[in-house]
Chain A
Amino acid sequence: METADLSHHISRRFNEDLEHLRGRALAMGGFVEAQLAKALTSLYEGDSSLGESVALDDLKVNGMEVSIDEECSRILATRAPAAGDLRVVVAIIKAITDLERIGDEGEKIGLIASRLASMERPENKYREIKHLGRIVSEMVHDALDAFARLDAESALRVARQDRLVDEEYEAIHRQCITFMMEDPRTIRRVLDVMWVVRSLERIGDHAQNICEYVIYMVHGKDVRHTSLEDVERELRAKGSQP
């Protein structure tokens, strides 16, 4: 099994180091998830102080990225890992970059939310953003779950969700244009909303990236810039081999 890769080590210390590193990356993931949830809540509920606190806490995310990065370099330098272990370290280095970006997008949403809080809220109470927000939050959550379980199959399933996000993004885009044409007074607010939607779409992309790293970590296969169908076919073929 894949997890066995992590537990068969002559040096127990190394094993612990790797586990610890994974734990820290996932803790950072958990923090970023919470940031995103808070940012969205501040938008839905018009809570400007919550939005500001999200923006402030992004500093912590950055700090986590730097310190996890340092630990990765230390492990690379002192332990010179190979094969599966090397893939784990590399995947973590990449995943935390994406997590940090998700944090940045969350910060943006928080700032916009605190600005929008002082304005009149739309009648539908951001229903379409709520829908998109839920899809994206679940994507991030499931991507991190796949990362924790080293589960390439669910990673692939989550990565496929990104298409849904893109469609949703397109739909909201069109809707926003209609709003602006109907009533030019709303342009300012709708533009801000567009930024939020754009951020959410980007977060979906980052979640997809994390899923790709999971596939890389488990199968040693770089699946970036490949269509998901190809990836699936290849993984199937690999799985059927003895």
Chain B
Amino acid sequence: MNPVAQAWAYTLARVAGLAALGVLLGLMLGSVIAGLLVMLSIALTWQLFNLYRLDYWLRARNLREPPNAGGIWGQVITQVVRLHRRKRFHKQRLLDVFRELRHSTAAMPDGVIVLNANNEIVWFNRMAMRLLSLRRRVDIGLRISNLVRDPRFVQFLDKADFSAPLEVPHANRDGLALSFQVVPYGRQQRLLLVRDVSRQVALESMRKDFVANASHELRSPLTVITGYLETLVQDTDIDPMLQGPLGEMRRQSDRMNAIVRDLLELSRLDAGDAEAAYDTIDVAGLLAMLNKDVTARPRHPQVLLSIESPAGLLGDEAEVHSVFANLVENAVKYTPDDGQVSIRWWVDAQGEAHLSVTDTGMGIPAEHIPRLTERFYRVDAGRARTTGGTGLGLAIVKHALEHHGARLHIESEEGVGSTFSCYFPARRVWQGGRQSTIDAAR
């Protein structure tokens, strides 16, 4: 028999025994009912007393020292103790896991902040506290944008486009740069990761400075060399044997000059604001001028200029000029003299402006297209040398277009020709009228 059944049998037997004793007592005293009543009330009192003890014990919450009780009461107490132990064990295990988790997030080298749907702070770790000078406990429940008030950060949170992290210099500590990244999870919860990127930013700016300074330093000696070469080439007293090499030297020094110029232009684009200015640009005039430059050359392919919209652009004139000039120059360079270059300018129904430059040149193999805008990228080494390009033209185009929120699209078929198209967003289009100028100024 198992102990539970045993306990039940024991308890029932006791009650039955007491009842029998009551009947016996009643028979002796003449009233069976009274005897039974007395004995049963003793039994009831005993049960009630045990119940009281159980209640008292549970209330006292001192589960270490269970009361001694026999029969079914003892069984109940054992069950309670067992239940409690099991619960405590699970709780402890959960707590351990939780604590472990919290310690590991707290020790993370990046700042971690948990935000709710209203961007209110739910939790943050030690690093976040240090980087954003948050205060433990006080700042829980505050909106993160109330404490990190940098306009760029506030805009970043509002826009809710978290595809790319945001980098901003720290407000009150010089030389410290922070990168913010938001990871949405769960029910409208957000994880805000804060990283100290001062080192990367410093390295990046060192790299940029180096390129800019190096190009600048190269310029002065180059100017001297070019100057002397120019006079030497024109000097008729020089041995005709040297004329060939001198001419080549001059061409190469011209090319070096062009490379240095483009490098400087690129570093200027790198250093500039993320968003170009909104000056009005007369695109039709600009294209006509570029067309005239090309047709003035002794040998050039046929150029078809079709301007289908009177609209202009709002942007940085020098940058837009360099975009258009580079595209036209490339097309002319890679098109044989019996070929054709067509330049088209139009505004589509959505208000976006397009410039496309199509040539009938040799075309570009598809695998090279995605890498064309990299600095010094060559489709094949032979090509550029003969045409004297710098290898930086398309990189400049890409950067300058990014400044204007525009993008470059390249289509090409080998042996047939290529099309380079720029898409300018509607906000960059200048309708040319007086009203639109006022709108633009807003």
Partners in one complex: yes
Check A137 for interface membership: any CB of B closer than 8 A: yes
Contacts of A84 in B (CB 8 A): none
Check B199 for interface membership: any CB of A closer than 8 A: no
- Give the residue among B133, B138, B146 with the most A Cβ atoms within 10 A: B146
Query: A37 and B145: CB pair below 8 A?
Result: no
Contacts of B135 in A (CB 8 A): 149
Query: Shortest beta-carbon distance, B157 to chain A, in Å?
Result: 10
Contacts of B118 in A (CB 8 A): 19
Check A34 for interface membership: any CB of B closer than 8 A: yes
Query: B172 and A27: CB pair below 8 A?
Result: no
Question: Chain A: interface residue count, which band?
Answer: 20 to 34
Cα–Cα distance between A34 and B153 once the two chains are bound (Å) = 11
Contacts of B133 in A (CB 8 A): 145
Residues 185-196 of B, flagged 1 when their CB comes within 8 A of A and 0 if not, give 000000000000
Query: B138 and A23: CB pair below 8 A?
Result: no
Given known pairs A3-B141, A33-B171, A37-B171, the reply for A145 and B147 (CB within 8 Å) is: yes
Check B96 for interface membership: any CB of A closer than 8 A: no
Residues 61-102 of A, flagged 1 when their CB comes within 8 A of B and 0 if not, give 000000000000000000000000000000000000000000
Query: B143 and A27: CB pair below 8 A?
Result: no
Check A173 for interface membership: any CB of B closer than 8 A: no
Given known pairs A37-B171, A151-B138, the reply for A31 and B145 (CB within 8 Å) is: no
Check A177 for interface membership: any CB of B closer than 8 A: no
Query: A23 and B141: CB pair below 8 A?
Result: no
Question: For residues 142 through 156 of chain A, which have their beta carbon under 8 Å from a beta carbon of chain B?
Answer: 144-145, 148-149, 151
Check B85 for interface membership: any CB of A closer than 8 A: no
Contacts of B146 in A (CB 8 A): 22-23, 26, 148
The chain B residue sitting closest to A130, CB to CB, is: B174
The chain A residue sitting closest to B141, CB to CB, is: A3
Contacts of A23 in B (CB 8 A): 143, 145-146
Contacts of B149 in A (CB 8 A): 26-27, 29-31, 33, 144
Query: Shortest beta-carbon distance, B180 to chain A, in Å?
Result: 14
Query: Shortest beta-carbon distance, B141 to chain A, in Å?
Result: 7
Question: Chain B: interface residue count, which band?
Answer: 10 to 19
Question: For residues 14 through 58 of chain A, which have their beta carbon under 8 Å from a beta carbon of chain B?
Answer: 19, 22-23, 26-27, 29-31, 33-34, 37
Query: B172 and A141: CB pair below 8 A?
Result: yes
Partner of B151, one of A22, A34, A145: A34
Check B154 for interface membership: any CB of A closer than 8 A: yes
Check B142 for interface membership: any CB of A closer than 8 A: yes
Given known pairs A26-B149, A144-B149, the reply for A19 and B143 (CB within 8 Å) is: yes
Contacts of B142 in A (CB 8 A): 3, 148-149
Contacts of B141 in A (CB 8 A): 3
Query: B171 and A27: CB pair below 8 A?
Result: no
Cα–Cα distance between A60 and B171 once the two chains are bound (Å) = 20
Contacts of A149 in B (CB 8 A): 135, 138-139, 142, 147
For the residues of B in contact with A, the DSSP-based class is loop
- Give the residue among B143, B150, B171 with the most A Cβ atoms within 10 A: B171
Check A192 for interface membership: any CB of B closer than 8 A: no
Question: For residues 210 through 238 of chain B, which have their beta carbon under 8 Å from a beta carbon of chain A?
Answer: none
Cα–Cα distance between A3 and B141 once the two chains are bound (Å) = 9
Contacts of B154 in A (CB 8 A): 27, 30
Contacts of A33 in B (CB 8 A): 149-150, 171
Contacts of A166 in B (CB 8 A): none
Contacts of A151 in B (CB 8 A): 138
Residues 227-254 of B, flagged 1 when their CB comes within 8 A of A and 0 if not, give 0000000000000000000000000000
Query: B150 and A34: CB pair below 8 A?
Result: yes
Query: Shortest beta-carbon distance, B340 to chain A, in Å?
Result: 42
Check A128 for interface membership: any CB of B closer than 8 A: no
Check A168 for interface membership: any CB of B closer than 8 A: no
The chain B residue sitting closest to A26, CB to CB, is: B146
Query: Shortest beta-carbon distance, B177 to chain A, in Å?
Result: 14
Contacts of A144 in B (CB 8 A): 149
Query: B147 and A148: CB pair below 8 A?
Result: yes
The chain A residue sitting closest to B174, CB to CB, is: A134
Question: For residues 88 through 126 of chain A, which have their beta carbon under 8 Å from a beta carbon of chain B?
Answer: none
A-B contact pairs, 17 of them (CB 8 A): A3-B141, A19-B143, A23-B143, A23-B145, A27-B145, A27-B149, A27-B151, A27-B154, A29-B149, A30-B145, A34-B171, A37-B171, A137-B171, A141-B172, A145-B133, A148-B143, A149-B147
Give the A-binding residues of B (Cβ under 8 A): 118, 133, 135, 138-139, 141-143, 145-147, 149-151, 154, 171-172
Beyond A31-B151, A141-B172, 15 additional contacts (C-beta under 8 Å) are: A19-B118, A26-B146, A27-B149, A30-B145, A30-B150, A31-B149, A34-B150, A134-B172, A137-B171, A145-B147, A148-B142, A148-B143, A148-B146, A149-B135, A149-B147
6 A-B pairs with least C-beta separation: A30-B149, A148-B146, A26-B146, A31-B151, A27-B154, A34-B151
